[in-house]
Structure 1
Amino acid sequence: MKASETKLQAIIEGNKQYIVPLFQRTYSWEKKDWEMLWKDIMELLEEDNPRSHFIGSIVTMPAASVPEGVPKYLLIDGQQRLTTIFILLAALRDKATQCKQTLLGEEINNTLLVNPYKSGLDHYKLQPTQVDRASFHNIIDDNSISSVDKITGAYQFFERKLKPEHIDAEKIKDIITGKLSIVSIVLDPDDNPYLVFESLNAKGRPLTQSDLIRNYFFMRIHVSEQEKIYHQYWKPMEEALGETLTEFIRHYLMRNGANVKQSDVYFSLKEIINREDALTYLKVLSRYAGYYEKLLNPMKEEKLNLRKALQRINCIEVNTAYPFLLNCYEDYFNQVISADEFYEVLKTIENFAIRRFVCNVPTNTLNKIFPALYNQVLAKKAESFASGVKDILQTKGYPKDVEFTARLQDVKLYGSGDRAVKAKLILETFEESYQHKEQVPLDDCSIEHIMPQTLTEGWQSYLGEDWELTHELLLHTIGNLTLTKYNSELSNLDYNSKKQLLQESHLEINKFFQDVDTWKKEDIKKRSEHLAELALQIWPYFGEAGSEPTNQTGITGTTPTGLWILGQYFTVSSWRDVLEQTLNTIAELEPEKMDLIMQQFPRFVGPDKNKFRAIRTLKNGTFIEVNLSAKSIERFCFQALQAVELSNDDWKVEIA
């Protein structure tokens, strides 16, 4: 058996063929696996000087072949990732060909996908199992695709990802061949491939990266000291952090600006320990592990205001800030910054994160913003550390007041999972901002929809002719949400009955309803405006310009001229054009997400044209409602993008 680390290019270039043995399972990777590979490649593409990225191992064994055939290897392990790479390269070849990059397309095909001067089965560099072979051959041969299976699904996924004009096929090819690194294990002919495969896929718990790191540390510590040092430094870290130990080490490595991927933690730390004293490094790592434990479990923090601020940070899930906060904790521990200044830093991060969450700013940039932040603040030499943090973060996609208040009124604040947690935090913060002398405990409160999630006939009649549009657009917005301990009692009651119960509430946030006699579209919008103004006081803009009051005119009466969506640009002349082109593009590039939009917004888009007052027909035959105001179209587009996890960077409208 021979193992070596190598680039992917060395594995697939040249005359050869990999054969998936019969005992292997069929191709089984799914969308989440394809997305992970694509994300890794996109991150490498964005780096100025990308380092090699480890994607796993493949185990092969030379196979007997006739003298005139190409060298053949049984692919014992790693067939899922290698098959996916071949599918991606085929989609990349087709992208290059469509973009008139003929030479690039031929290069990918003839050097990476096939053995160009061989015929029959020897023509293909990879032979999947019999079940997958026809679909795979169709993709490699660039034939029309008729089957529906996971091989075809993978190709169609990458085809959509490569469709935007700005995608550079040649750069992606260079990343795949030159920056994706694997460990190649070549078995001897005498080895039993089935037993090797069985042992590689055994049910036993695999070694984690932290296991590898522990072993690497103690290989460099004298045997007579190992047990003492293990109990003094390593074991407390393991017990305190548990399964998060590897992630802690990753964040520790990132604290001075490095971008360390989850799969590269062991290799990154290994490089450092080779240059430094292992024991000294382990002692420092152990100290920082104590800070990390407080980040994960703020109850370990003794100071009350810091504990509460850390709890709020965890509610809004800004764990990408942990590398930066590790440095802040070290400075706080060493009295370089005071407790008050550390608290101000935490409140600034909360402000930054809340505004970006409300405005649907993409989160994938945060793992680049926070690791570099500490050194950037020091270089800034601001009046204080906290003011330096504000100076830097205001330049990192930090929404200004106009956008923040507009989006807070439009966004579907309530949702499943973490959205409900963040919505509750925002509502609780509104309540606490009134500073009632006898604060009501909020732990037992839950979120209540004033206009209920399921409308009775009475509510439908009460809301009027456009009840469906009102319900779909405003149900989960901030204006329709409050806190209560009487959620089950309120349920689907009519507004007057709900108002009576809310008047008995001891929560300050519910006093708003005392003077509100109706609860229709206009009332929800009025409360949204009220809470948006309150949000500006709680999370004030900390930039140089923007804290002053703003005169927001909105989009009513405006004329759009262009639309950027998912990397493509379209000329438009009306908000109806914007709506149509937005949904056409999503349907074409992300068809599964289009299905989700149809489920969540049946009054806006669907297969039955009789449900709509005025229609346009999308390219896929679906109908959309266009008898809408500019504001309703903008709000719908924003909520639809949010529903399918696209960000505001994916959709921008140019207005004359």
Structure 2
Amino acid sequence: MHDNIKAQEKSLDSIFSGNYVFSVPSYQRPYSWTKDNAAELFDDLFDAYQNKTSEGDSYFLGSLVLKKDPYKPNSDIIDGQQRLTTITILLAILRDQLSSSIEFNVFSKDLHSRIFKSDQISAAKDLYLLTLRNKDEGFFCKYIKEEGATSKVNDLKKEVDSRARIIENRNILREKLFKLTDNDKYEFAKFIMNNCFLVVVETPNEESAFRIFSVLNARGLSLTVADLLKAELISSIPVIKQERFTQDWEGFEKTLGRSDFTNLFSYIRMIYAKTKLRKTLLKEFHEYVIDVKNVNSKAAFKDAEDFIDNALDEYVDAYDQIKNCSYIGKNERDTEEINRYFKYLNRLDNSDWLPPAIEVMKYYQYNDKFLLQFFRKFERFAYGQFILRTMVNIRIAKYGELLKAIQKAEKESQTDFIVDALKLSDNEKQQIKEILKGDIYDKPAIRLPLLLRLDEFLSTGSATYDYKTISIEHVLPQTSDNIESWTQAFPDEKIRAEWVNKLANLVLLNGRTNSSAQNYDFETKKEKYFKTKNGNISGVTNFALTSQVIQENEWTPEVLEKRQEELLSTFDAIWDLNSKDS
């Protein structure tokens, strides 16, 4: 028996028309999107709205997997809850902000009908088109779905978990919409409903729905963008040449590996588009890079042979050298330093830096001196955005501007354009310094890459980190109430709390050492960090930061203050944070 699976691309207008009555099953995780997630969705939608060139321009929002009876509107959401909930919040805010406008009051009522379905004719039950889990549904109605609900004041501090996320995201979206005129809100809302699409996958069988969900999220050998492009591009080449280009293509994939080779196409798209992805990767690759099917295409390449031989080949080489830190230049010393910067960059928690890095490597691959100058400044630029936790849309826009400068420099043979684009503002540098002064341990995303960067500088680049696990240890323990030596050294609880998570109090250990360090007093901790043989200290770790600890006879607020100043000065030296940018 077939599962009767249906998949169709549908506009939000169709999805919120009443043909679907969505429910979040109790076994699903609660609403968990953060402010960044909600702001990113809004920015993507508004960017697509502002940049549309025709009424038919569309924006793809991803997929929605439903367990649904084909003859009833009731639909259990298997995948897509977070997105659908956030869109409902956005529509509710637009409804409430337009309700007081005489011109758009009727439209406001229409928006409410996409949230609440009322049947005055057949006496069918009035109901909301999206129902969250029982635990959150009453709250969601009161502060989102009811007319006027998004204008209600709510004390965020009283809410936790999913309810806190609902209010946080309501507030960030409300703030963004307040900046628009009523007419812009009206036009934007129409764009959302008519031009934004989801692929809706429906099946009446829950097992089938979960299987679809697994396939959509699997990392198996399903067809990738690279596979689809291979079929298109190779088939456009004269048959007599296809075997050679097929072998080249498969060689590229083998060099990078299937996953990285697929990722490379998104980086190439960014190099030519210089903006965040608004449609599907395949559509935008055709639009900006190569479209062999459309003779009137404005894409950079119209010939598959030219793209594969003179672009893809070089991009594969550039990406391979960056990811594997394997650049080989003319000058051994410069080469070593360039590869060291690749190592630092590969520790970042995003890949947005890769397109400009790949483009520079491709174009300036024989110019060691410029590559070193670029990556020295680029590493600071990328780590600056990383430390500041720059929101993804802003970060991508910055890298887009850098790509424009790189390609202008290529065209005009003037590298000053690139150097200028890599500058940090005085305000950015000051913000970076303030973050480094604060509680670094409380910032999980940045703490390990920062400490490794600092450690390598202190070791003059000689450190090697081949441990399977590298952990961060507090010298002054996070909990030290029952250890007399620590309470004597830090009698003031406020001062102890002030220092415990700061840079000066953190060291690096390999996993084996960390498990034995625990909450010992300072002298015992030193012994655990460094084994003693015949009265001589021999390091069990290769970390410069940790080795410095053995030089101290005590660990007090005064020692920490001095060490903090020294380490902050080291970061100033690494990234030139004190001078006017140059």
TM-score, normalised on structure 1?
A: 0.63
Question: What is the Cα deviation at residue 95 of structure 1?
Answer: 4.6
Deviation track 1:494-533 (CA, whole Å, cap 9, x = no partner) reads 3456678889477876786688654222321221112222
Letter in 2 for 1:8: L
Q: Secondary structure at the match of 1:182?
A: strand
Question: What is the Cα deviation at residue 423 of structure 1?
Answer: 1.5
1:8 equivalent to 2:12? Answer: yes
CA contact under 8 A between 1:449 and 1:475: conserved in structure 2? yes
State the match for 1:479 in structure 2.
Answer: 504
Q: In the superposition, relative to structure 1, how do residues 176 and 431 fare at CA in structure 2: closer, same or farther (>3 Å)?
A: same
1:528 equivalent to 2:564? Answer: yes
Question: What is the Cα deviation at residue 111 of structure 1?
Answer: 6.0
* Alignment partner of 1:18 out of 9, 17, 20: 20
Deviation track 1:549-571 (CA, whole Å, cap 9, x = no partner) reads xxxxxxxxxxxxxxxxxxxxxxx
Bigger mean CA deviation after superposition, 413-422 or 517-526? 413-422
State the match for 1:277 in structure 2.
Answer: 303
Q: Secondary structure at the match of 1:55?
A: strand
Q: For structure 2, which runs of at least 5 residues remain unmatched after alignment?
A: 151-158, 330-334, 531-535
CA contact under 8 A between 1:29 and 1:150: conserved in structure 2? no
State the match for 2:62 in structure 1.
Answer: 56
State the match for 2:156 in structure 1.
Answer: none
Bigger mean CA deviation after superposition, 312-321 or 101-110? 101-110
Letter in 1 for 2:40: K
Q: Secondary structure at the match of 1:255?
A: helix
Q: Work out the CA distance in 2 between the residues paired with 1:176 and 1:322.
A: 31
State the match for 1:367 in structure 2.
Answer: 396
Question: What is the Cα deviation at residue 177 of structure 1?
Answer: 1.9
Q: Work out the CA distance in 1 between the residues paired with 2:33 and 2:364.
A: 41
State the match for 1:430 in structure 2.
Answer: 458
CA contact under 8 A between 1:344 and 1:386: conserved in structure 2? no
* Alignment partner of 1:458 out of 461, 484, 497: 484
Q: In the superposition, relative to structure 1, how do residues 2 and 373 fare at CA in structure 2: closer, same or farther (>3 Å)?
A: same
State the match for 2:381 in structure 1.
Answer: 352
Q: In the superposition, relative to structure 1, how do residues 176 and 158 fare at CA in structure 2: closer, same or farther (>3 Å)?
A: farther
Q: After the TM superposition, which residues 125-164 of structure 1 pair with which residues of structure 2 at under 5 Å, given as runs? A: 126=129, 140-142=145-147, 156=167, 158-164=169-175
Deviation track 1:80-118 (CA, whole Å, cap 9, x = no partner) reads 458536632553256527988982643411466535755
CA contact under 8 A between 2:117 and 2:126: conserved in structure 1? yes
Letter in 2 for 1:449: H
* Alignment partner of 1:494 out of 508, 517, 521: 521
Figure out how many residues of one structure are paired with residues of the other and give that number: 518
TM-score, normalised on structure 2?
A: 0.70
Letter in 1 for 2:569: E
Q: Work out the CA distance in 2 between the residues paired with 1:492 and 1:59.
A: 49
Q: In the superposition, relative to structure 1, how do residues 259 and 390 fare at CA in structure 2: closer, same or farther (>3 Å)?
A: same
Q: In the superposition, relative to structure 1, how do residues 342 and 73 fare at CA in structure 2: closer, same or farther (>3 Å)?
A: same
State the match for 1:389 in structure 2.
Answer: 418
Q: Secondary structure at the match of 1:432?
A: coil
Q: In the superposition, relative to structure 1, how do residues 406 and 504 fare at CA in structure 2: closer, same or farther (>3 Å)?
A: farther
State the match for 2:437 in structure 1.
Answer: 409
Q: Secondary structure at the match of 2:312?
A: helix
CA contact under 8 A between 2:474 and 2:506: conserved in structure 1? yes
Q: In the superposition, relative to structure 1, how do residues 380 and 122 fare at CA in structure 2: closer, same or farther (>3 Å)?
A: farther
State the match for 1:436 in structure 2.
Answer: none
* Alignment partner of 2:323 out of 249, 271, 296: 296
Q: For structure 1, which runs of at least 5 residues remain unmatched after alignment?
A: 65-71, 434-438, 548-656
Deviation track 1:259-305 (CA, whole Å, cap 9, x = no partner) reads 24397212212334243234433443243122212222224657433
State the match for 1:332 in structure 2.
Answer: 364
Question: What is the Cα deviation at residue 347 of structure 1?
Answer: 1.2
Q: Secondary structure at the match of 2:20?
A: strand
Q: Work out the CA distance in 2 between the residues paired with 1:130 and 1:504.
A: 59
Question: What is the Cα deviation at residue 343 of structure 1?
Answer: 1.5
- RMSD of equivalent CA atoms: 5.0
Q: Work out the CA distance in 2 between the residues paired with 1:465 and 1:151.
A: 39
Bigger mean CA deviation after superposition, 322-331 or 92-101? 92-101
* Alignment partner of 1:251 out of 249, 267, 271: 267
